[in-house]
Every structure is written in C-alpha cells, then in structure tokens.
Amino acid sequence: GDSVTQMEGPVTLSEEAFLTINCTYTATGYPSLFWYVQYPGEGLQLLLKATKADDKGSNKGFEATYRKETTSFHLEKGSVQVSDSAVYFCALSDPGYGQNFVFGPGTRLSVLP
C-alpha cells in the first residue's frame, strides 16, 4: 500500500541555520504531496503542497519540490527561526488509494536562539 517515510528527528538547529527534512513516498497512483506543521498544543496546519511532478510548493520561506523520479518531497528552509519550532508531517493523497491521506511519522524541529 501507499506509505510515507520521513526522518523522525528530533532535529535541533541554531537560529538562521539551513533546514532539510527528507520525505520519500510510495504510491500506487499519482499522488498529491503535502507538508503540514503542528505547533505545540494545536492541530495540523497545511504548510505547502504540490500536485504534479516538478511542482514547487512554497510558504513562509519553506519550499519543497515534487520529484517523481526519486519519489521525494524534501522540505527546506534557508534560515530557520525560533518560531519554526514545531512538528512537521509529510503526507500524500493518492486518487488510486481511495480518498485517504497517508501521513509520515512527523519530525520534531527545535530551533535554539
């Protein structure tokens, strides 16, 4: 079945450091890909998405590119801030897999001042 794999962390960085969180997927169909962020005590919020190969999703300085050849959707940010401390989830939605989402396990990011 469909699955999402991401580095579980925790990831600890200093402010202004470069961030990469790796995400790879397996899917039976042609999925849409998402990154969600969860701040402490809150629900998940959509951070960015991409619906087809080579699409780049971006928001709040974060970027991720849909790479079909490597089945990857890695999240990057050039300069992290303390306020980016949260848990990040990679997810896919596959029309060939019903209408469910498949979420990765989440990566906890801590940014130190």
Partner 1 sequence: DVKVTQSSRYLVKRTGEKVFLECVQDMDHENMFWYRQDPGLGLRLIYFSYDVKMKEKGDIPEGYSVSREKKERFSLILESASTNQTSMYLCASSSRVDEQFFGPGTRLTVL
What would the 3-class secondary structure string for 56-102 be? EEEECCEEEECECCCCECCEEECCCCHHHCEEEEEEEECCEEEECEE
Nearer to partner 1, 84 or 107 (CB): 107
Is residue 21 a contact point for partner 1 (CB under 8 A)? no
Please identify, among the stretches 16-24, 37-45, 58-66, 76-84, the one whose residues bind partner 1 according to the rule CB under 8 A: 37-45
Is residue 46 a contact point for partner 1 (CB under 8 A)? yes
Q: How far is the CB of 68 from partner 1 (least distance, A)?
A: 17
Q: Judged by CB under 8 A, which of 27, 89, 109, 111 binds partner 1?
A: 89
Can you read off the two tokens belonging to residue 60?
A: 């709040």
DSSP-assigned beta bridge partners for residue 108: 87
Q: Judged by CB under 8 A, which of 7, 13, 44, 67 binds partner 1?
A: 44
